[in-house]
Amino acid sequence: MMLFLKKIIPNSFKVLVKEELRRILLQEKNSILEKENIQSQPSSYNEVDLTNLCAPSITSWHQPIIYEASVNLALRDLCQPGATVFDVGSNEGGLTLLMSRLVGPKGIVCAFEANPYILDLCTHNLLRNGCNNFFITHACIWKVSDEILSLYIPPNNWQAASLYLESDNIETQVRTIALDDYIYSTNLEPELIKMDIEGAEFDALEGAKEYIAQKQPHLILEQWTHDGRCLELLRSQGYIAIDLNNYNFIETINDYPKKSQIRNVLFIHQNRIEETPYSLDIRAEEIDYFGADKFTSSNQEFILQNCIKLNKSRYVLRIDFDAEREDNVMSLSVYVDNILTILHIANSSFIQKSYRDCTIDIKFPVDVKIEIKFLNDTSDPTFNLKGVSVSKVVNFQEKFKNYFV
């Protein structure tokens, strides 16, 4: 789920937008989703009726998952029926739900969430979707077990809880678990570990060194581009790193796109890459480009005039634009055959830096439409749309068909 954060600085996180702007972002996102008949997250924890299983905050299992498209596709590539997988930082359960469906009735999903304000919501979201193969643990995954840490929760953005975001946020105490201890105690060995824990990924890896060295699980980590500790650690253990936003290989933090802030990175051990759809030659090759003149522009809305026609394959759509302002609300939407497939809402500067690469997997010929809109009477005078590049992912080969999704 999109987390409205700005960037990490040495001693703390900074929240991406002010409290009022966060509220507007959530309202506008819900408005767009309602038009698509998709229900989204509540605007605050207090508005959630946790006793009502019919009060979802994520899309239902049979509906498109419109957030974190790059992670979504990687999970579909790697979570096999019957597997054990870990979701570290399950949040409201959107990707946990997908993992549950992918591993099927004989698989197991171990979910970990440190934030007590969303545990019930995550549990209800999974139960209302019929999931019965998951187990949620309330703990902070850390380098050692059985410590007590302070977790800081922004009052109006409770999804963005962090160990490092002190400020005036709500403080709560949470126990720690090292994954090596958890795996040894439960005898549950994950084939894949997904982590999105607000900058604490390195500390979590430190607590899983033994298992990673022995079993070499696949890892999907959200990474802040200035922090190379996870990258250095895993590459020293024989892992290769692929930027899931554009399918480029990452050897150092200098390989991330310039000025980017957040990337989702897949780590596969070099001894196991042949088991996966990925290869050492995977890349995205540009096949088409649509300049700014191909978009209609009116009232802070930019809509591609003619649909992009795509055949069966995987693609990266890179929306090329400049934007420097943070005092606005912008939505970037991708429709596949008129179905909302990708939606990002944040300020224009943040989307430009971290979420302008959109990955889609096409199974049959489709029409793709792209829309960019400034919401709530906001704008960005520095916004300059240049165009959209369409790249096809090559040297990628689907290994298995999953009928659970």
Summarised one tens digit per residue, pLDDT across range 71-112 is 999 999 999 999 999 999 999 999 999 999 999 999 999 999
Bridge partners (DSSP) listed for residue 46: none
Burial of residue 235 (number of CB atoms within 10 Å: 0-12, 13-18, 19+): middle
% pLDDT > 70, the chain:
85
d(CA 303, CA 91): 32
Confidence of residue 42 (pLDDT cuts 50, 70, 90): very low
Q: Assign domain 283-394 to its CATH architecture.
A: Sandwich (2.60)
The mean pLDDT of 263-273, rounded to a whole number, is 97
Output the pLDDT for position 64.
81
- Identify which has the larger pLDDT, 78 or 161: 78
- Whether residue 122 is predicted with pLDDT greater than 50 in this model: the reply is yes
Predicted local confidence at residue 52, as pLDDT: 40
pLDDT classification of 159: cutoffs 50, 70, 90: confident
Range name among 39-53, 210-224, 269-283 with the lowest pLDDT average:
39-53
Q: Where does CATH 2.60.120 sit in the chain?
A: 283-394
Residue 135: which of 116, 119, 118, 112 has the closest Cα? 112
367's tokens: 């029409």
Do the bridges between strand 283-291 and strand 262-269 make them parallel or antiparallel, or are there none, so unpaired?
unpaired
Average pLDDT in the 311-329 region? 96
299 pLDDT band, cuts 50/70/90, is: confident
What residue spans in the chain does CATH classification 3.40.50.150 cover? 12-275
Specify the pLDDT at position 126: 95
171 pLDDT band, cuts 50/70/90, is confident
Report the CATH superfamily, name and number, of domain 12-275.
Vaccinia Virus protein VP39 (3.40.50.150)
Q: Look up the pTM and report it.
A: 0.86
User: What is the model's pLDDT at position 160?
Assistant: 76
Q: Which of 69, 71, 33 is nearest to 358 (CA)?
A: 69
Question: Would you give the DSSP letter of residue 255?
Answer: G
Section 178-190 average pLDDT: 98
Specify the higher pLDDT residue, 186 or 59: 186
- At residue 294's C-alpha, the angle toward residues 292 and 297, to 5°, is 70
Among residues 159, 173, 151, 153, the alpha carbon closest in space to that of 92 is found at 159
d(C-alpha 97, C-alpha 83), whole Å: 15
Q: Which two tokens stand for residue 231?
A: 């990258």
Average pLDDT over residues 114-127: 92
The stretch 158-187 carries a mean pLDDT of 87
